[in-house]
Structure 1
Amino acid sequence: MKKVVLKVELHDDRVKQKAMTTASALSGVKSISVDLKDSQMILSGDTDPVSVVSKLRKCCHTEIVSVEPAKEEKETKKVEPAKLSLPLHQAYPLIYYVTSYKENPSDCVIC
């Protein structure tokens, strides 16, 4: 991933739209941002800066300001479910005993 900062001369909205359309059609471009105040276009992705400038020069005057590796975004931490770390007799306190019907008829669950 590269971050390419270009100086572009955007006179009006039509030229700006045409430059953004041309830049977005290039292969490897992940994101485009335009700063009209500083006359800069910032492209990020796996692109060749020379080919980007040659394509953009067809619609407006373009110069390379800087090419640097893009900062990778921090991955969000995944929340793992809480693990139960209790002894077995505390984790499962209900233990059922099986008794036969003949020993004590009142203990029969099915009847």
Structure 2
Amino acid sequence: MTAQKSVLQLSVHEERIRKKVWATVSKFSGVTSIAMDDKTGKMTVVGEVDVPVIVKKLRKICNAELVTVEVVKPPEKKPEPEKPTPAKPAEIVAFPVTQFSYPYQYHSSYANSYYQPCDNYRVVVEEPNTCVIM
């Protein structure tokens, strides 16, 4: 089914009936947009819907007549000019660190720390330029 633009003539004199008409039309699946001119009483429904079914439902609420039905053409897409592909940035090659290649390998920095029991931690560092947090 293709998208259609349908114009309906409605006799809506009260705000309560107008709200019921909007709610009824908006519940149909496939409705893309709804517009209503309050002065003339014309409602425009756009979408892939069965228009006679909408008119049948609206006649239970108010006086409704089908004025026009048009097929909506999809907007034509203009071909986009091809953009030049940007140059690829230089790839950075990272080499693995060899001294920590095994997760449980012994390292000399582990020998500098001593943990005391009872949640009191003491760090002993013999290097002068290191940061110590206590």
Both structures adopt the same fold (TM-score exceeding 0.5) = yes
- The number of equivalent residue pairs is 87
Give the aligned partner of residue 22 of structure 1: 24
SS at match of 1:15: helix
How far does residue 73 in structure 1 lie from its aligned partner after superposition?
Answer: 3.8
Q: Secondary structure at the match of 1:44?
A: strand
CA distance in 2, matches of 1:78, 1:47: 33
Residue 43 (structure 1) aligned to one of 42, 45, 48:
45
Give the drift of 1:79: 8.4
Say which one has the larger Rg: 2
Q: Give the aligned partner of residue 93 of structure 1.
A: none
Letter in 1 for 2:67: V
Is 2:33 aligned against 1:31? yes
Q: TM-score, length-normalised on structure 1?
A: 0.66
Counterpart Cα distance in 2 of 1:67 and 1:50: 11
Unaligned runs of at least 5 residues, structure 2: 87-134
Residue 64 of structure 1 aligns to a residue whose secondary structure is strand
- RMSD value over aligned CA atoms? 2.9
Aligned residue number for residue 12 of structure 1: 14
Unaligned runs of 5+ in 1: 85-111
Q: Which has the higher contact order (CA 8 A, sep 6+)?
A: 1
Identical pairs, percent: 36
- Write the letter of the residue equivalent to 2:27: A
1:1-111 superposed matches below 5 A = 1-73=3-75
2:15 maps to amino acid: D
- Structure with greater helix share of residues: 1
Deviation (angstroms), 1:13:
1.2
Distance in 2 (CA, whole Å) between partners of 1:46 and 1:5 is 14
Q: Runs in 1 of length 4+ with deviation above 3 angstroms?
A: 73-84
Pick closer, same or farther for the CA change 1:82–1:41 going to 2, 3 Å. Answer: same
Report the residue type matching 2:74 in the other structure: E
> Structure 1 CA distance, aligned partners of 2:7 and 2:85?
48
